[in-house]
C-alpha cells in the first residue's frame, strides 16, 4: 500500500488492533504522523490530508495502578524476596588493603592521603556497580511474568532511576581509575627521579588517559592496568547500550524496559552531502540485556581493581623510607 492510498478508517482499525499494547500503539502513531507530514512536504499527498488527524492516542492507565499503594508495596516486597533468592554473580572488592609504612617522609604525605581516598572511592564505585547489577537482575525476574502495563508501572516507580545510574557507572569507574592512577604515579615518580622530579601535572579537570600514560609509563605494572582499564566501558558496551551515556546526557537516550526514542534521525552522506531522514526509532533497553552487559562490566572492573592494587604494591616498595 502506498502512502497516498492510506485512509483514516485504516488508521482507526490499526489503533484498535494495537489498543492492548498502548505504548506500541502510540509509537506507531507517532512514526506514521511524521511519515504523513513528510509525504505532504515532498508532494506525495495533498496538504492537510493526513489520515492520522482525529485518531486518538492510546491511553495508559498509569494513575490507576500508581495510586494503589498496596500494589506498589507488594511489588517492592516481591522484589526484595527475589533479591534474596537469585544467585549473586559478583564480588565486593576490599577496603583498607594498603601497606604503606607508618613512618613516611613528609614528601610522601600527598601520596598517602590520595591513596586513602582514591582506593576507598574506587571500591565504593565498583561495589555500587556490583550491587546495582544484582538489584536489576532481581527486577528482571520480577518483571518477566508481568503484562505491559505492570512493567511500565514498575519501571516508572523503581527501575528507571536505578538502571540509569548503573548503566553510566562503568564510564565513571574508568575515569576514576585513570584519575587515581595518573596522580599516584606522578607522586611515586618523585622517589625514582629525585631532585630532577618536577611537580608538573594537569589540573584535576584535565586529567585524561594521556596523563596516566605519561606518568605511569615507567612502572612495570602500569601496562597491565591500562589494558584492563581500556576494557571498561569499551566499544562493545557502547554499542550494547546503544550509546546510552552520550544520548542520555546530550540528546534523548533509549528508554529502559519499555518505550522508544529517536523516532526520527537525520543523516548526511559524507561523500555527496545529501541529507536523509530515517523513521522508526530506537527500542528500549530490556532488563535481560542490561543485566548481561553490567555483569560483564563488573568482571572488567574487578580485574582492573586487581591490577591497580599491583601497581600500588610496586609504588609501596619504592616509597618506603
* Amino acid 29: pLDDT: 65
* Amino acid 62: pLDDT: 41
- One-letter-per-residue 3-state SS of the chain: CCHHHCCHHHHHHHHHHCCCCHHHHHHHHHHHHHHHHHHHHCCCCCCCCCCCCCCCCCCCCHHHHHCCHHHHHHHHHHHHHHHHHCCCCCCCCCCCCCCCCCCCCHHHHHHHHHHHHHHHHHHHHHHHHHHHHHHHHHHHHHHCCCCHHHHHHHHHHHHHHHHHHHHHHHHHHHHHHHHHHHHHHHHHHHHHHHHHCCCCCCCHHHCCHHHHHHHHCCCCCHHHHHHHHHCCCCHHHHHHCCCHHHHHHHCCCCCECCCEECCEEEEECCCCCCEEEEECCEECECHHHHHHHHHHHHHHHHHHHHHHHHHHHHHHHHHCC
Q: Give the mean pLDDT of 52-70.
A: 50
Q: Is 284 left (phi over 0), alpha (psi -120 to 50) or beta?
A: beta
Is 80 exceeded by the pLDDT of residue 184? yes
Of the two residues 33 and 234, the one the predictor is more confident about is: 234
Confidence band for 61, pLDDT divided at 50, 70 and 90:
very low
The answer as to whether 184 is a domain residue is yes
Task: Answer with the one of 17, 32, 59 that is the final residue of a domain.
Answer: 59
Confidence band for 175, pLDDT divided at 50, 70 and 90:
very high
* Amino acid 48: pLDDT: 65
Confidence band for 141, pLDDT divided at 50, 70 and 90:
very high
* Residue 237 Cα to chain centre, angstroms: 9
Q: Which of 51-60, 246-255, 306-315 has the lowest mean pLDDT?
A: 51-60
pTM score, two decimals? 0.78
Do 103 and 220 have their domain in common?
Answer: yes
Is 50 exceeded by the pLDDT of residue 153? yes
Domain count, the chain: 2
Do 191 and 248 have their domain in common?
Answer: yes
Handedness of CA 190, 192, 194, 198 (dihedral sign): negative
Taking all residues of the chain, what is their mean pLDDT, rounded to a whole number? 86
Do 38 and 125 have their domain in common?
Answer: no
Do 97 and 191 have their domain in common?
Answer: yes
The answer as to whether 175 is a domain residue is yes
The answer as to whether 277 is a domain residue is no
Confidence band for 161, pLDDT divided at 50, 70 and 90:
very high
Do 53 and 86 have their domain in common?
Answer: no
Q: Give the mean pLDDT of 42-68.
A: 55
The answer as to whether 260 is a domain residue is no
* Amino acid 63: pLDDT: 44
Q: How, if at all, do strands 264-268 and 282-283 pair?
A: unpaired
The answer as to whether 204 is a domain residue is yes
Q: Give the mean pLDDT of 232-250.
A: 95
Do 45 and 140 have their domain in common?
Answer: no
The answer as to whether 279 is a domain residue is no
Q: Is residue 307 within 8 Å of 224, Cβ to Cβ?
A: yes
Do 46 and 85 have their domain in common?
Answer: no
For 86, other C-beta atoms within 10 Å of its C-beta total: 14
* Amino acid 65: pLDDT: 41
Do 292 and 201 have their domain in common?
Answer: yes
List the domain range (segments joined by +) for residue 191: 76-255+287-319
Confidence band for 104, pLDDT divided at 50, 70 and 90:
low
Share of the chain above pLDDT 70, in %: 77
Do 87 and 116 have their domain in common?
Answer: yes
Do 129 and 234 have their domain in common?
Answer: yes
| Crossing angle of helices 109-143 and 69-85, rounded to 10° | 110
* Amino acid 103: pLDDT: 61
The answer as to whether 93 is a domain residue is yes
Do 170 and 217 have their domain in common?
Answer: yes
Do 135 and 213 have their domain in common?
Answer: yes
* Amino acid 60: pLDDT: 46
The answer as to whether 280 is a domain residue is no
Amino acid at each position: 500500500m502506498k502512502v497516498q492510498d492510506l485512509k483514516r478508517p485504516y488508521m482507526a482499525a490499526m489503533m484498535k488492533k494495537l489498543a492492548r499494547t498502548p505504548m506500541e500503539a502510540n509509537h506507531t502513531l507517532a512514526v506514521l504522523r511524521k511519515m504523513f507530514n513528510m509525504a505532504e512536504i515532498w508532494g506525495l499527498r495533498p496538504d492537510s490530508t493526513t489520515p492520522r488527524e482525529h485518531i486518538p492516542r492510546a491511553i495508559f492507565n498509569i494513575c490507576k495502578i500508581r495510586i494503589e499503594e498496596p500494589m506498589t508495596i507488594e511489588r517492592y516486597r516481591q522484589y526484595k524476596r527475589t533479591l534474596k533468592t537469585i544467585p549473586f554473580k559478583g564480588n565486593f572488592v576490599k577496603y583498607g588493603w594498603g601497606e604503606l609504612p607508618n613512618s613516611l617522609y613528609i614528601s610522601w604525605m600527598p601520596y598517602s592521603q590520595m591513596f586513602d581516598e582514591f582506593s576507598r572511592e574506587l571500591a565504593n564505585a565498583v561495589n555500587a556497580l556490583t550491587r546495582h547489577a544484582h538489584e536489576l537482575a532481581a527486577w528482571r525476574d520480577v518483571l518477566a511474568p508481568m503484562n505491559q502495563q505492570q512493567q511500565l508501572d514498575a519501571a516508572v516507580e523503581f527501575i528507571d532511576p536505578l538502571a540509569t545510574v548503573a548503566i553510566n557507572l562503568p564510564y565513571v569507574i574508568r575515569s576514576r581509575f585513570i584519575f587515581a592512577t595518573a596522580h599516584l604515579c606522578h607522586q611515586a615518580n618523585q622517589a625514582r627521579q629525585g631532585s630532577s622530579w618536577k611537580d608538573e601535572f594537569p589540573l584535576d579537570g584535565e586529567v585524561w588517559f594521556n596523563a596516566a600514560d605519561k606518568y605511569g609509563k615507567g612502572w612495570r605494572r602500569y601496562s597491565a592496568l591500562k589494558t584492563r582499564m581500556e576494557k571498561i566501558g569499551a566499544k562493545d558496551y557502547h554499542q550494547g547500550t546503544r550509546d546510552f551515556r552520550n544520548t542520555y546526557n546530550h540528546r534523548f537516550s533509549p528508554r529502559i524496559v519499555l518505550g522508544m526514542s529517536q523516532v526520527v534521525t537525520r543523516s548526511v552522506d559524507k561523500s555527496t552531502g545529501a541529507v536523509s531522514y530515517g523513521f522508526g526509532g530506537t527500542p528500549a533497553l530490556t532488563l535481560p540485556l542490561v543485566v548481561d552487559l553490567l555483569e560483564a562490566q563488573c568482571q572488567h572492573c574487578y580485574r582492573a581493581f586487581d591490577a591497580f592494587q599491583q601497581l600500588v604494591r610496586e609504588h609501596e616498595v619504592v616509597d618506603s623510607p
